[in-house]
Amino acid sequence: MLRFFTTLSCLLALAGPALAGEAYQFPEDQDESNFIANEVIATFYHELGHGLIDVMKIPVLGKEEDAADTLSVILMNDVWEEQAATEILTSDATAYALAAADPNATPDESALADVHSLDIQRYYAVVCLFYGANPDVRKQLAIDLELPAEKLDSCPGEYQQAADAWSAVLQGTEPGPDKKGLVMGPGQEGVPLADVLADEVKAMNEKFGLPEEITVIVADCGEANAFYSPSDKTITMCNEYAQDLQRRWEAQPK
Ligand SMILES: [Zn+2]
């Protein structure tokens, strides 16, 4: 079943005062909160891509980071109904645009040599794929997000190729009694970021059954990051990542 948007207001209500100072708290501004929660969801799907590549031993042709970005868009498209999917994609694209515009992050040699494509390339790639998944409905979105007109024609084919490739390598991941799944690390209930992820864990467990368990945690990392660790099969969403999204959102020219 396709998912409709869950407002953050109920999540905010779950975050009691006892957690103040101990966990990332979403800002009061609804647009800002939705941006951060949506981007946490998109990033979680990306990290799940790394996790699936690991536990399913999926061969990777090309950059693994690009493959993970692609899976993120496929999941947005497949799991959510149109409006919610569009809001998540728009937040994801906005996060790349804000990162690309950050004067402290001008692409230098290390960015050019990085395992990730450049933020602005990731921006166009996710917009193209999302548009290509449903071009009849999403053309205005692609125009609004300034996907170059000459790029529109190839996006449906690019999405289909990507979706076929992921579908082929995910054969056999249907949930079942002998399968494992995603689990939230213990003691995280009521932590706002973890509650966002717990909903995604539940949704992904209805979609995928895995040969090994993948644990999902929210943690202080000392850096603004989210990552999958193959050694302990864990997806970590750093509090600093949400804080950094919030900083970038608030630093936009008004
Ligand atoms: Zn990655």
pLDDT, one tens digit per residue, over 93-109 is 999 999 888 776 666 77
Query: Per-residue confidence at 186, pLDDT binned at 50, 70, 90?
Result: very high
In the predicted structure, residue 196 carries a pLDDT above the cut 60: yes
- Which whole number is the average pLDDT over 69-91? 97
Question: Cβ distance 130 to 91 under 8 Å?
Answer: no
Q: How far is the CA of 91 from the centre of ligand 1 (A)?
A: 17
For residue 131, what are the domain limits? 27-250
* Residues 6+ away with beta carbon under 8 Å from 216: 44, 182, 183, 184, 185, 197, 198, 201, 234, 235, 237
pLDDT at 8: 54
Q: How far is the CA of 101 from the centre of ligand 1 (A)?
A: 20
Question: Cβ distance 40 to 209 under 8 Å?
Answer: no
- Is 236 inside any structural domain? yes
Q: SS3 for 175-226, per residue?
A: CCCCCECEEECCCCCCCHHHHHHHHHHHHHHCCCCECCCEEEEEECCCCCCE
Q: How far is the CA of 50 from the centre of ligand 1 (A)?
A: 7
Written as one letter, the residue type at 108 is D
Q: How far is the CA of 66 from the centre of ligand 1 (A)?
A: 8
- Is 100 inside any structural domain? yes
- Is 17 inside any structural domain? no
Q: How far is the CA of 244 from the centre of ligand 1 (A)?
A: 17
- Is 2 inside any structural domain? no
Nearest Cα neighbor of 249 from 28, 70, 66 is 28
pLDDT at 13: 44
In the predicted structure, residue 122 carries a pLDDT above the cut 70: yes
- Cα distances (Å, whole numbers) of residue 196 to 64, 130, 147, 151: 25, 22, 30, 34
If you average pLDDT over every residue of the chain, what do you get?
A: 91
- Is 15 inside any structural domain? no
- Is 45 inside any structural domain? yes
- Cα distances (Å, whole numbers) of residue 36 to 141, 151, 163: 20, 28, 26
Q: How far is the CA of 227 from the centre of ligand 1 (A)?
A: 6
Please tell me the total count of domains within the chain.
Answer: 1
Q: How far is the CA of 7 from the centre of ligand 1 (A)?
A: 27
Question: Cβ distance 208 to 51 under 8 Å?
Answer: no
- Return the beta strands (E) in the chain as ranges: 182-184, 214-219, 226-229, 234-238
- Is 16 inside any structural domain? no
Distance between CA 170 and CA 134 in Å, rounded? 22
pLDDT at 254: 72
Percent of the chain with pLDDT over 70: 91
Tally of helices (H runs) and strands (E runs) in the chain? 10, 4
Q: How far is the CA of 163 from the centre of ligand 1 (A)?
A: 18
